[in-house]
Each structure stands twice: as C-alpha cells, then as structure tokens.
Amino acid sequence: MQTAMETTNGHDKKDKKEKKEKKEKKEKKEKTEAAETGDAAQKEKKDKAEGKQKKEKKDKKDKKEKKDKKDKANKEPKEKKDKKDKKEKKERKEKRKLRKEQKLKQLADQRKKAHKIGLKGTKMLASKKRKAPAQSQPELKVLMKTEDDYEPVNRWWEREDGAESGKRGAKKWDTFEHHGLLFAPDYEPHRVPLIYDGERVELPPEAEEIAYYWTSVRGTPYETKDIFIKNFWKTFKEVLPKGSKIKDFKKCDFSLMADYREAERQKRLNRTKEEKEAEKAKNAKETEWFSYAIVNGVREKLGNYKLEPPQLFRGRGEHPKQGLLKKRTFPESVTLNIGETACVPKVVGMPGHAWRDVVHENTVQWIANFEDGLLTEAKYVSFAATSGLKGQPDMLKYDRAKRLVRIIGSIRTSYEKMWTSRNVADRQKATATYFIDKLALRVGGEKDTEEEADTVGCCSLRVEHLKLTPPHTVHLDFLGKDSIRYTNSVEVAKQVFDNVQGFIKGKKQEDQVFDKISPADLNEYFKNFMEDLSAKVFRTYNASYTLQDELNKFDVSKRLHKHKTHLGNSETMDTKEANKTVSLGTSKVNYMDPRLGRLGEYRQEFVMTAGARHRANQGPPLQIRSEEVLGLYPSPLNYMGFPKSVCVSANEVICHGIPDSRPLQEGDIVNLDVSVCHEGFHADLNETYFIGQCDEECDTRTCDAAQHPQSVSHHLVRSTYDALKASVALIRPGTLYRQLGGVIEAEAVKRGCSVVTAFCGHGVGRLFHGPPDIPHFKKNKTVGLMKPGHIFTVEPMLNLGKSRERLWPDGWTAATRDGRRSAQFEHTFLVTEDGVEVLTARVGTDRSSMPDYDPAAFQR
C-alpha cells in the first residue's frame, strides 16, 4: 500500500530539511572517509585485535561477572543509602517469597479440588509436572504470573462511571502512593580543555560544565543564533574564574570538547547488542522504582518522573531567553502530591536535601510540581499517556468533539447572523469564530514578548499578518505555535472579507485585527452552545473529521497496522497535501481517538469488522466470570450477546458461526470452537473436521496437486494446521508476540492461501478475551514479550480465496466474501520456562509441542 511518497507539492520545510540532512550526511561521510583513509592501518589492527578480544572477552565475561559479584559482596557498603537500598531489596524479596508461598498454597488447594471434580482449569494446568519425578523432593514447580510479569491494565472504560473522574476538578483517587522523583545525575568533569585564541585552557568544573553544554547544540541552528550566543556568553562569563583571559566569544574554540562529546556518543552507538541490552536492563532496574504510582490500588505508569537535567534553554523561534542556563532542580523546589496514608518517599541521590512541601490534593492529576530552572513557571510531573488518569480526560475530549459535530450547524447559523451585527465586538467574535471553524486556527492568547517568542493565533492576529485581495480572498502569514510559519490563502465568505477589511481600516501594521475581543470572550460565546465547548475543541473536531475522511478511503477491517495514515497538514488543513504519506507523530496522534491508535486494548476492537464494532458498542458490557462462578461453563454463551455455547463454522464461514438446525452434508468441512470457563478460568480451542469424503475439485491456481492429491479442502485444512504448528514452535520466553503472525502468513502464502486479518488470538485467563492481541499476519504491531506463565491462544484462519470477510446479518457469523472455504485451528498455550505447553492438547498426546498433521484425526 505504499503510495507515492513525495507528490509534486513542494513543502518548503521538508525540502529544506532534506537538503540539510543530505548535506550533513555528506559531511559525515566525508569525515568518516577521511578518518578511515588516515587511520586505515590502525583500524585494521584494531579490528583484528577486537576480533581476538571478542572471543577472549566471552570467556572472561563469565569470570568477570563472578568476580564482580564477589567484589560487590565483599565491599562494605560505604554509604547509608546503599544499606537502605539493600534492606529495602531484602524486604521486597521476602515479601515476594511470602506472596509466592501463599499463592502456592492456594494453587495446591485448588488443584485438590480440581482432582476431585476430575477437571482441570487452564490455570491449574499451568502447574504441570514438568520436572522429572526422580528428584528427591517432589518440589512443585509452579509457574504463575506475578505483578512483575505483565502490565496490569486499569480498565476504567469498563466501569459504570466511565471517564467521570477525568473531569477537571473531579476526585481522582482515595489512596495514592508513589516513590518520588529521579533527580538528574551530577555533572562529571572530563577535563578536556577549551582552545582560546589558539591556546589550550583548562576550565574549572563549573565553567567546563557550561562550555560542555554549549557543545550540545553543535550542528543545530542555535549554534549560529544571535540571541542564543549572546545569552550563552553571558552565562559562561559568569562562571569563568576572576582574571580569566577568556574575553571574546569569537576566540573560543570548543571543538576539542565537541569532539569529546561526539566520541562519547559514538562510543554509545557502537556498543554491542549485549552491552546495550545490559545497560538497558540496568537502567530499567534503577528507574523502575520511580516509574509507577499506585492509584486506588492499581499500578499506573508515570510520565516524566525524571527531573530535567541542567542544560542551555532551547526556546523556539526568537525566544529571548534561549541560551541561558536552565538550572538543576533540587528537592527544595519540588512539591509532592501523595495520599495522606502513603509513606512520603525519601529524597534519593541528594543527601541533605528535602522536599519543599508535601500535599494531598486528590482533584489534580500531578504527582509533583517543581519550579523551572529558568522560567518563572511551574512544571508538573504527571502520568504516562497510557494511564487511566490521562486516558479519561482524553476520552472526554473526543466526546466533546463528537457533541460539537451535532451542534456545529447551529453555531454556524449563529455566527453568520452575528457577523452583520452593529456591535463591533460581536462582529469580531463572529468573524474570529469563522476562522477558527473553517481554518482550525488556534485561539491565540496574548503573550509577553519580553519573556516569550512573538507568535500569534486567531485573536492576536495583527494587521501585518493579513492581506486582502478582492473580491474575497484573505492571505494569512504569521508565526504560530512553536514559531512555525502559517501561510494560507483562502476564499472566505463575502461578509467575512468585508468585516476584516473594516476591522483593519485605519489601523497600524502592529495593531490587532480583533482588538475588541479576547479568547475568554470567544469561549464565553461558545458556552452558549455547549457547556464545555472551547476554541480548541474545533481543532480536535476538525482533525478527527479529516482523519475519518481519510480512513474512509481504506478498507478499515483490513490491516490497520500496515497502513500509514494519510493526513493533511494539520497546520494548514490543505487538502492537496493530503496525498502525502506521513507517519503519525505525536502531533497527529494527539488528535486521534485513542481507540484508533494509542491504547492497545482498543486495537482489537478496531480491527474487528464494522458490524462487530457496532455490537461491541451496543451490546452488554464484557462479562467477567470470576472465581465465584464455579464448575464448568461454556464461555461463549451470552458473551457479548452470543446466543449459543459453541461456534460452528462450516465451509465458507470463517468463525463465530451460530449453530442451527441445518444438517451437515457429505463433503463439508466444519469448524467447532469450544471454550469453557472452569472455576473462573477460560480455555479456548477449535478444530476443523472433514464430513465424509471431501473431494471437492482441486483448484490448480492455489493447489499443489502433487503434494496433496486429495482435494482443496484437505489442502486448506492441512495448511491451516501447519501454520498454527509452525507458529507454536516459536512460543517460548523471549519471543515477541508479533513474531507469530509472520510465521503464519509465510506458511499460508507458501500454500497459496490467505490469512484472515480481522480476527486474532488473545490472552486468556480470568478474562475470556484479554491482552495481548495476537494477530496472524506479518508486520503487525502487537506489543509484548512472552514470559513464563503467560497464557494465550493462537487461532489462525486461512482462506482458499481472498482474505476479506463479510458479516452475516446475525451480527456474528463471519464468512468469506468470495464464498470459498475457510479453515481454522486454535489452541490455548502456556509459556513455560523453556518452551510451551499446549493446554488444550488432546488427552494422551505430548503437550510440549503440536503433533504432526494427521488428517485421520479430523475425519468424521
């Protein structure tokens, strides 16, 4: 689906960027080439040496690790902090042990029960005796999920009150605990000198630090910006020792330091895969403690819990403070927000420091705020975008946009009436609303140009930003948010043109066009139509509308993940630009309903057909059968309104067929999908069977007759089984869930079949359908890494013809569009320490892998 990448539309910014990049690349190449020719001999030596060393390293590594461990153990903890950490670790370990033991007990009890009943639930099967019974102590090896194994999901959207608590000022929590913030690491001096007027000058650490920050902008436009240089020089001079001979910026040569920075960067880039992974793991270990909060007992991921390191401020555009030092944040400028009953977290890594304040505000979504190291404003530490606390207001935002769609007509009628008002303010209000509605301009609050860059939005537009061409064309040219230039020529309503002409009449270039109104006035006007309507909702509405429009051009039920969404430039809303393929940056994603893009939990819903989605929206809420439902129960019965206990899908039916009274006929193939809930845990299984002699004629286009002489149906069923089997071979700790799809599709393609993309495998346990989603096609974007204890299904559906499906009017049955046959196999799998256990394997078969395909097993 890759469309032409760059169309004829010259996009200035992009072009420039590209040129720049090309230049840079060239330069880089030249540099590296030069370096290579010069040091070729040395490099070769190095490489050879490295090759030798690698082997040695591997051998040594183990030894070293052991040594390190020993050393660590021997070293007496120098600081109290270490002691505390160790204590805490010990405590946590012990707690975990306790928890495990308790779970073990529970499990053992459950198993006893299960034996009595003579049935095993999926979870019980998790504890299969994998170890040889020869061991002296028949120690039960239990694989189970712990908190660390997977991300708990706050399924707030399934609660009755939904996103209610996402409203501004609403209560967000009853209990709330977190571990505080991670302070930026100290600056480590490197003693690389500055060259001043041709002479090497070693700087004291404070000065070296500022100079080193300067090198971080090398290669960026800041390097040559007057304001940035001026401010940097001011900052730098202040930290130079008295009597320093450094007097003139132009005589300063920072290249040694810059080279050092680059070398360090290269060092990082050139780390081996193992080194990178090790460091990542180490970092994760260090930061994990800080990265979660517990909100009402649910673990929620935090966003920016790492405090900003000191650096030269990189204000955008002509920001007057760019180049000044943004100072380090100390605990004394941090206010924590935490539950009354929670422990106040210790200040870590800043001995002798203390929090400025601790508050217990349960109507706000921040966990801490701190003073910016340069600007006068406060900054907030809050939750990650995937958290419920961010998701709820997000949901409300899209609801607002949806409601705006309903009333936009009346708003337009209103302002079209008001733009002829005698009252200038009203006329301005109406005209400004027109621009916000039609062009999705930002509302444009007033700014202090002494402190910030001079940028504008709708209300702050000045005469100099507009040009009028009769009869009714308005040319806009101004710097918007982030000093990004907005240029657009639009034909506007005649009245709007006349109004604007009237507003700017007799005004100076630097005067405001809409001088009689402010953003507050506009928002007040919007409140007449909808209580929570404000100017920015128009942008959400506008962008969502455009996105939907673009999405309508695709068959959405197909591979969402593969598509790059086509979007217009959200700044200009220029539809001609819409033919460009762009990746979804944060900017565009921000305008998308999370059901489309962000929350993994929604993804499956989106991949489902329109009918299924409709049902999901209309139908009863997901039924969670928990431990209080004992015994055995058919999972599908009443699940989201499914009327029967088993899915029966014959011939062209892909899945979710509702059993009825029609008799099966000789030559049919039929899939039976059986799912049970036992003591609160679900298991899922299906197989495709041959009814009598399946001798449908072979289709030579899709069928290799030599390999499978029987019939097309046999070929299809065999292929489906083999696709599942091939993917199962991958199941083991460390495999990415998304890898399975690639194997399945490859197998299908090899056999001339297509893979159904609208339905996927899923996590299973207490929930019939839980995370993760497991698509059966390649290049899918499902998240997650298999770990021991994970339980899920893989259930590829293969079609003889095309992969597209059609939903029957019953709202459930999915059949192939072309009427050709479809087959499916499904099992429930457990990831064990060293591989897989097929939880739904046939009695008496080996559970550690799928048996080879045997058509006799499916002959009826």
Catalytic residue annotation: 591
Q: Where are the beta strands (DSSP E) in 419-536?
A: 466-469, 473-479, 485-491
Q: Least distance (Å) from DNA to the CB of residue 445?
A: 4
Rounded Cα gap, residues 444 and 554, in angstroms: 35
C-alpha dihedral (207, 212, 216, 221), degrees to nearest 10: 50
Q: Which is nearer to DNA, 256 or 582 (CB)?
A: 582
Give the helix/strand (H/E) hosting 771.
Answer: strand 770-774
Rounded Cα gap, residues 144 and 650, in angstroms: 37
The DSSP symbol for 640 reads G
Q: Which is nearer to DNA, 564 or 613 (CB)?
A: 564
What percent of the chain is helix, strand and coil (3-state, nearest 5)? 40, 15, 45
Q: Which is nearer to DNA, 308 or 332 (CB)?
A: 308
Window 655-684: residues binding DNA (CB under 7 A)? none
Window 452-471: residues binding DNA (CB under 7 A)? 452-453, 455, 457
Residue 537 engages DNA in binding (rule: CB under 7 A): yes
Q: Which of 414, 421, 495, 534 binds DNA (CB under 7 A)?
A: 534
Window 6-35: residues binding DNA (CB under 7 A)? 29
Q: Which of 443, 712, 756, 800 binds DNA (CB under 7 A)?
A: 443
Determine the interface stretch with DNA among 84-92, 248-256, 532-540, 704-712 (rule: CB under 7 A): 532-540
Rounded Cα gap, residues 273 and 275, in angstroms: 5
Q: Least distance (Å) from DNA to the CB of residue 731?
A: 17
Per-residue binding string, DNA, 719-738, x by CB under 7 A, is -------------------x
Give the number of other Cβ atoms within 10 Å of residue 732's Cβ.
14
DSSP 3-state assignment of 368? strand
Any idea which residue has 């680059």 for tokens? 262
Q: Which of 445, 641, 643, 709 binds DNA (CB under 7 A)?
A: 445
Q: Least distance (Å) from DNA to the CB of residue 586?
A: 4
Q: Is 173 exposed, middle or buried (0-12, 13-18, 19+ CB in 10 A)?
A: buried
Crossing angle of the two packed helices 535-551 and 388-418, in degrees rounded to 10: 100
Window 423-442: residues binding DNA (CB under 7 A)? 442
For β-strands 334-337 and 357-359, DSSP reports them as: parallel
Residue 169 engages DNA in binding (rule: CB under 7 A): yes
Strand partners, 182: 306
Q: Which is nearer to DNA, 331 or 519 (CB)?
A: 519
Residue 516 engages DNA in binding (rule: CB under 7 A): no
For residues 331 and 347, the answer to whether their CB atoms sit within 8 Å is: yes
Q: Least distance (Å) from DNA to the CB of residue 674?
A: 33
For residues 575 and 568, the answer to whether their CB atoms sit within 8 Å is: yes
502 closest CA partner among 494, 435, 433: 494
Give the number of other Cβ atoms within 10 Å of residue 474's Cβ.
19
DSSP 3-state assignment of 751? coil
Determine the interface stretch with DNA among 309-317, 609-617, 633-641, 707-715 (rule: CB under 7 A): 309-317
Any idea which residue has 């060293």 for tokens? 834
Window 738-767: residues binding DNA (CB under 7 A)? 738
Q: Which of 47, 50, 174, 361 binds DNA (CB under 7 A)?
A: 361
Q: Least distance (Å) from DNA to the CB of residue 16?
A: 10
Q: Which of 173, 213, 228, 366 binds DNA (CB under 7 A)?
A: 366
- Range list of H helices, 75-195: 80-117, 122-125
Q: Which of 79, 160, 482, 628 binds DNA (CB under 7 A)?
A: 482
Window 767-796: residues binding DNA (CB under 7 A)? 779, 781, 783
Determine the interface stretch with DNA among 136-144, 448-456, 764-772, 836-844 (rule: CB under 7 A): 448-456
Window 586-615: residues binding DNA (CB under 7 A)? 586-587, 590-591
Q: Where are the beta strands (DSSP E) in 432-548?
A: 466-469, 473-479, 485-491
Residue 168 engages DNA in binding (rule: CB under 7 A): yes
Q: Which is nearer to DNA, 304 or 849 (CB)?
A: 304
Window 561-590: residues binding DNA (CB under 7 A)? 564, 570-571, 583-587, 590
C-alpha dihedral (716, 721, 724, 725), degrees to nearest 10: -140
Side chain identity, residue 702: T
Q: Which is nearer to DNA, 137 or 376 (CB)?
A: 376
Rounded Cα gap, residues 666 and 695, in angstroms: 9
Q: Least distance (Å) from DNA to the CB of residue 285?
A: 14
Window 248-287: residues binding DNA (CB under 7 A)? 268, 276, 280
Strand partners, 253: 195
Residue 317 CA neighbour count, 13 Å, CB half: 17
Window 384-403: residues binding DNA (CB under 7 A)? 384, 390, 393-394, 397
Determine the interface stretch with DNA among 130-138, 314-322, 631-639, 649-657 (rule: CB under 7 A): 314-322
Q: Which is nearer to DNA, 197 or 274 (CB)?
A: 274
Rounded Cα gap, residues 668 and 711, in angstroms: 12
Residue 832 engages DNA in binding (rule: CB under 7 A): no
Task: Using CB under 7 A, count the residues that bind DNA.
Answer: 75
Q: Least distance (Å) from DNA to the CB of residue 724?
A: 21
Rounded Cα gap, residues 390 and 301, in angstroms: 10
